[in-house]
Amino acid sequence: MLHRSKDTALARKFLYLIAILIMLAIAAAFAYRLFGVQILRTALVPTTKFEHQADAAPSVYADPAMWFSRPGKADDPSRWTPAGYQPAQKPVAAVFFIHPTSYLDRSHWNAPLDNQEANERAKLFLRGQASAFNEAGDIWAPRYRQATFGAFLTSEAAAGQALDLAYRDVLTAFDQFMKEIGPDRPIILAGHSQGALHLTRLLKDRVAGTPLAARIVAAYVVGWPVSKTADLPALGLPQCETAAQTGCILSWQTFAEPADPSLIFDTFDRTEGYTGAPRGDTEVICTNPLTGTPDAAAPASANLGALFPSADLATADILPGRISARCEGRGILSVGPPPNMVGNYVLPGNNYHVFDYSLFWANIRADAERRLNTYLNN
């Protein structure tokens, strides 16, 4: 009974967090559309100078306190599961998961590691996202000096410096992860939003052209666009073409109809890809998480279970057969008409970014397990 009560409390906190963050994002995007980028900058972009900080020493991530999740850690948020699911008792793979932006303050360009609000939000994201992988492997999710939300709203040099600092923490954590898991375990890489951005850089710097590529079961680059021509060739892994393929990349960005991804692509298209080529209006990877294949369509009956709140936001349930998905356009994932079970709080353009994992939670779980089994049997 105590365990059930604790799980209910965790689910309630997670759902409240989703509601709060979506409302904040909607308010910011609404102001952007009506009044321009200056209001957003005033509200969310730091006005202080970028604070140069020393890189984390290689030994820092040997301390378990520098991880939200890792084997043996008490109250590990990534081991949360909804009713009917349990984490593996003896996980086979090792999962490196990079959490999305949880620091909303503009007093610093990078989150202080002891910022309680950002840390609590990060833990809640891990419960709703990284938990999808806890049947396939042990999850390692580092604390890192993430760039603040406002860093994504400006072209100031400080924003790039903040993202670089955050990435260097992630890279140091990954190197420690590799030391601790040993030389033979299969590896799953995953992240969301800012975490997925850092994951693309990690793939380029640590996987591409190295023996490590042979140990990657799959890389889930979710909630961040990956150009098929300007990025993918530099990341060291192809996109996943089949549902059981290993050593490949999955990526999607979720929208309902009518979809307007301009707030994402307007910025993305002006940047240079990892190959050095302009991203322009290139196609991006769209993996349908219901099928595990690219540029595909699937009916709601293929959805093994989406994570949905109850009417009073007291619990989270897995409900199968409710959400369809199809890839369309340049590579966005459409779920059709707006799902009414997640409430009305979505980003402008019918962007379901916050729900990139939760709408397909059970399918992502099955996908990771299927690809791992293929890896082990080859």
Q: What is the mean pLDDT of the segment spanning 73-102? A: 94
Minimum mean pLDDT range among 13-17, 207-211, 345-349: 13-17
Give me the pLDDT at residue 280, please. Answer: 94
Flag whether 234 is in a domain: yes
For residue 76, count other CB atoms closer than 10 A to its CB: 23
Q: CA torsion sign, 74 to 80 to 83 to 88?
A: negative
Residue reference for tokens 């890189």 = 55
Q: CA torsion sign, 27 to 32 to 36 to 41?
A: positive
Phi-psi region of 292 (alpha: psi -120 to 50; beta: other; left: phi over 0): left
**Does residue 214 have a pLDDT over 50?**
yes
Give me the pLDDT at residue 64, please. Answer: 96
Q: With bands split at pLDDT 50, 70 and 90, how would you rate the model's confidence at 319?
A: very high
Distance CA 249, CA 222 (A): 10
Q: With bands split at pLDDT 50, 70 and 90, how would you rate the model's confidence at 310?
A: low
Flag whether 149 is in a domain: yes
Q: What is the mean pLDDT of the segment spanning 182-197? A: 96
Cα Rg of the chain, angstroms: 19
Flag whether 358 is in a domain: no
What is the DSSP-derived secondary structure letter of residue 148?
Answer: P
- Average pLDDT in the chain: 88
Q: With bands split at pLDDT 50, 70 and 90, how would you rate the model's confidence at 148?
A: very high
pLDDT tens digits, residue range 116-125? 999 998 998 9
Do 107 and 140 form a contact (C-beta atoms < 8 A)? no
Minimum mean pLDDT range among 156-170, 176-190, 191-205, 346-360: 346-360
Percent of residues, the chain, with pLDDT higher than 90: 70
Q: What is the mean pLDDT of the segment spanning 77-100? A: 95
Distance CA 162, CA 10 (A): 31
Give me the pLDDT at residue 33, please. Answer: 44
Looking at per-residue pLDDT, the higher value among 107 and 213 belongs to 213
Partnered with residue 188 across adjacent β-strands are 95, 218
pLDDT tens digits, residue range 13-59? 444 444 445 445 544 444 444 444 455 456 678 888 888 999 999 99
Flag whether 92 is in a domain: yes
Closest CA to 134 of 176, 86, 178: 86
Tell me the three state secondary structure of residue 297.
strand
Give me the pLDDT at residue 19, please. Answer: 45
Q: How many domains does the chain have?
A: 1
Per the structure, the complete domain to which residue 368 belongs is given by 2-249+263-279+364-377
Residue 329 burial by Cβ neighbours in a 10 Å radius (0-12, 13-18, 19+)? middle
Give me the pLDDT at residue 179, please. Answer: 97
Give me the pLDDT at residue 15, please. Answer: 44
What is the DSSP-derived secondary structure letter of residue 56?
Answer: P
Give me the pLDDT at residue 313, please. Answer: 45
**Does residue 2 have a pLDDT over 60?**
no
DSSP line for 223-248: SS--BTTTTGGGSSSPBP-STT--S-
What is the DSSP-derived secondary structure letter of residue 284?
Answer: B
Give me the pLDDT at residue 5, please. Answer: 44
Distance CA 222, CA 307 (A): 17
Give me the pLDDT at residue 268, please. Answer: 87
For residue 301, count other CB atoms closer than 10 A to its CB: 11
* Helix pair 157-181, 194-202: axis angle to 10 deg: 60
pLDDT tens digits, residue range 92-108? 999 999 999 998 888 89
* Consecutive H or E run containing 176: helix 157-181
Tell me the three state secondary structure of residue 128.
helix
Looking at per-residue pLDDT, the higher value among 156 and 367 belongs to 367
Q: Residue length, the chain? A: 378
pLDDT tens digits, residue range 249-287? 999 999 999 998 887 888 889 899 999 999 999 999 999
Q: What is the mean pLDDT of the segment spanning 86-96? A: 95
Give me the pLDDT at residue 36, please. Answer: 40
Flag whether 352 is in a domain: no
Flag whether 228 is in a domain: yes
Flag whether 130 is in a domain: yes
Flag whether 95 is in a domain: yes
Q: What is the mean pLDDT of the segment spanning 334-363? A: 85
pLDDT tens digits, residue range 351-360? 898 899 999 9
Q: What is the mean pLDDT of the segment spanning 160-175? A: 96
